[in-house]
């Protein structure tokens, strides 16, 4: 607001006395009008009407909204996941299985059961070594079933929007242990994983995981598995 506008509103304008200094003008001039008192709140409202508000009221800020999908106190069932485990140069493993989890909060939960069944495929490298050198390779016990349990931590949540839909995503980590059941013996193992969870709707989930089965025996201490699966929330 300009200084002239404030003077007019407050009744402090001296423009009437500055028009002329002649005696005739002073005689013909009307009697002085007492100043009009204007409340400061009225000035602020007028200022906002002219130049806009200083800030947006908090009740009109809609950035923070209720979550569309909730996991707290819900079960997550993955009836099927499939994957591949490169293992080592001597073998490859095809993997499939299922899992059950329970979410205590939106960020923490427990995978009560992770069951994976592995089918071993020989790459033929051991046969080639035996033919060329006469040496018989021994790469230890190969697991055929993995049973485990892990803690779930979901620190990262995000969403993306198109004109038609809003898509929700999460990144989570697994840490736990279990047992590797082999063809001739059973061994304890540790489990560490990182996963990506996409919500198709409020119940259906698609998951992609990278898991490391840290076996404490055999030639391959770390068995990375690439898994893809689908599940739902109850």
Q: Residue 73 CA to chain centroid, in angstroms? A: 19
Confidence of residue 142 (pLDDT cuts 50, 70, 90): low
Pull the structure tokens for residue 89. Answer: 């140069």
Which is more confidently placed, 208 or 53? 208
What average pLDDT score do residues 37-53 get? 71
Q: Is the pLDDT of residue 133 over 90?
A: no
* Nearest Cα residue to 231 out of 179, 195, 178: 195
Q: What is the pLDDT of residue 157?
A: 87
Q: Is the pLDDT of residue 85 over 70?
A: yes
Q: Which residues contact 137 (CB under 8 A, 6 or more apart)?
A: 90, 125, 126, 129, 130
Q: Is the pLDDT of residue 175 over 80?
A: yes
Q: What is the pLDDT of residue 97?
A: 94
Q: Which residues contact 6 (CB under 8 A, 6 or more apart)?
A: 43
Q: What is the pLDDT of residue 6?
A: 64
* Nearest Cα residue to 171 out of 199, 212, 136, 203: 199
> Of 36-40, 67-71, 90-94, 185-189, where does mean pLDDT reach its minimum?
36-40
The whole-chain average pLDDT of the chain stands at: 77
Q: Are 172 and 163 in contact (CB under 8 A)?
A: no
Q: What is the pLDDT of residue 185?
A: 75
| This prediction's pTM | 0.62
Secondary structure class of 27 (helix, strand, coil): helix
Q: What is the pLDDT of residue 125?
A: 59
Most confident of 119-128, 137-146, 220-229: 220-229
Class of domain 74-233: mainly beta
Q: Are 118 and 146 in contact (CB under 8 A)?
A: yes
Domain ranges of the chain: 3-60, 74-233
Q: What is the pLDDT of residue 19?
A: 44
Q: Is the pLDDT of residue 14 over 60?
A: no
Q: Is the pLDDT of residue 17 over 50?
A: no
* Nearest Cα residue to 90 out of 145, 140, 141, 139: 139
Which is more confidently placed, 191 or 85? 191
DSSP letters spanning 161-184 = E-SS-EEEEEEEEEEEEEEEEESS
Q: How many alpha carbons lie under 13 Å from residue 151 in its C-beta half-sphere?
A: 7
């Amino acid at each position: 607001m300009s200084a002239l506008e404030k003077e007019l509103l407050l009744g402090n304008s001296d423009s009437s006395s500055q028009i002329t200094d002649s005696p005739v003008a002073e005689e013909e001039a009307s009697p002085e009008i007492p100043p009009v008192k204007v409340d400061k709140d009225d000035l602020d409202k007028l200022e906002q009407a002219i130049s806009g508000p200083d800030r947006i009221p908090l009740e009109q800020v809609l950035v923070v909204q209720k979550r569309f999908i909730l996991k707290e106190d819900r079960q997550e069932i993955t009836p099927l996941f499939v994957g591949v485990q490169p293992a080592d140069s001597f073998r490859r493993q095809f993997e499939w299985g299922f899992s059950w989890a329970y979410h205590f909060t939106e960020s923490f939960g427990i995978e009560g059961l992770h069951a994976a069944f592995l089918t071993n495929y020989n790459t033929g490298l051991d046969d080639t070594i035996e033919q060329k050198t006469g040496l018989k390779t021994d790469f230890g016990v190969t697991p055929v079933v993995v049973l485990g349990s892990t803690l779930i931590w979901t620190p990262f949540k995000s969403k993306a929007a198109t004109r038609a839909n809003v898509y929700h995503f999460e990144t989570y980590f697994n840490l736990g242990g279990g047992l590797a059941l082999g063809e001739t013996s059973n061994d304890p193992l540790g489990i560490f994983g990182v996963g990506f969870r996409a919500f198709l709707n409020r119940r259906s989930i698609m998951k992609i995981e990278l898991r490391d089965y840290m076996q404490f025996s055999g030639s391959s201490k770390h068995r990375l598995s690439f898994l893809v699966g689908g599940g739902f929330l109850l």
